[in-house]
Structures are given as C-alpha cells and as structure tokens.
Copies of this chain bind each other. A is one copy, B any other.
Amino acid sequence: MATKEHCAELARQLRVVIAVGREVGRALPPETPPATVAALTILGRHGEMRMSRLAEYLDVDMSVTSRHVAHLVERGWIDRTPDALDRRSRLLRLNPHGEKVLAASSDRAAEVLAAHLSDWSDDDVDQLTGLLDRLRLSFGDCRTGAHAHPPRTHAN
C-alpha cells in the first residue's frame, strides 16, 4: 500500500509528463490535434464501440466526445452506424482512411519521442510503458467499475 508521501511525489512528476505530452502534441500536424488523435487511437486499439464507451476511455464528458466524433465523421475517418440492438445509440468504427491518418500521427509522435530518448534502451521504454499501463488499469477499472461494466451483450 503506497503511502501519501510517495504519491505526492508521483503527482508532481505526473504534471511534468503532461508537459511532455504537450510537447509531443505540438509536433502533430494541425489537422490532427492531440484530442483527435486520442480518439482515433482508442478506436484503433479497441475496435468498434459506442459513444459512451469511447467517452469512458477518453475520460471526458460524453458531450465532448460527441463533438470530437462529429469532427472525425466529417473528415471521413470513422464510420458511424446505427446500433440495431439499441436505436438510441450509434456504433463507431475506424475506416481505412482513418487507419492511415492514425498510423501517420502515431508515427510522428513516436519520432518525437525517439529523438529525445536516444539514451534509453528498449527495455527502459518498455518498463515505463508497463508501469503506465498499470496506472491506467488502477484508474480505469475504478472509473468504468462505477456503473458495473457496460453490458456488451451485442457488438464486441
């Protein structure tokens, strides 16, 4: 069980990482701002899902997600199809065009990181990535757990 002192130090470093994220974000082309890439990344990783679940993954309000999604649809990067099992909701899915855009963005972000991490080994990077993933789980489980897991009875 982590003590509060250690968590306080982690909190400080967390804010530093946000600065690094901004730095990486600045290197992205104007047509794919960070928030856009974030949505594409989640759809690319977890596949088809509905608005509410995307909002959970992004950790922002659904109203915000709705705007981002509308933008992605306008650009022709994702498809938004009606959900046959619940006509209130719509299913979101990355299309081939969106996959290309995501790949390019992801590539650019990786370049920026690699340029600064020249003295890191792959093992170093993996270790950090692993801990961040664990951090995500520690927070994410709690968040989505609030409404006891979304009932994914229809589409996966």
Residues of chain A at the chain B interface (Cβ within 8 Å):
1-24, 34, 37-38, 41, 45, 58-60, 106-107, 109-111, 113-114, 116-122, 124-129, 131-136, 138-139, 142-143
Contact = CB atoms under 8 A, between A and B. Distances in A.
A2 B106 contact: no
Contacts of A124: 2, 131, 134
Given A24-B11, A116-B138, A6 B125 contact: yes
A117 to B, nearest CB: 5
Given A3-B114, A15-B37, 17 more contacts: A1-B120, A2-B117, A7-B113, A9-B125, A11-B106, A11-B109, A12-B45, A14-B17, A14-B20, A14-B24, A17-B135, A19-B139, A23-B59, A120-B138, A128-B131, A128-B135, A131-B131
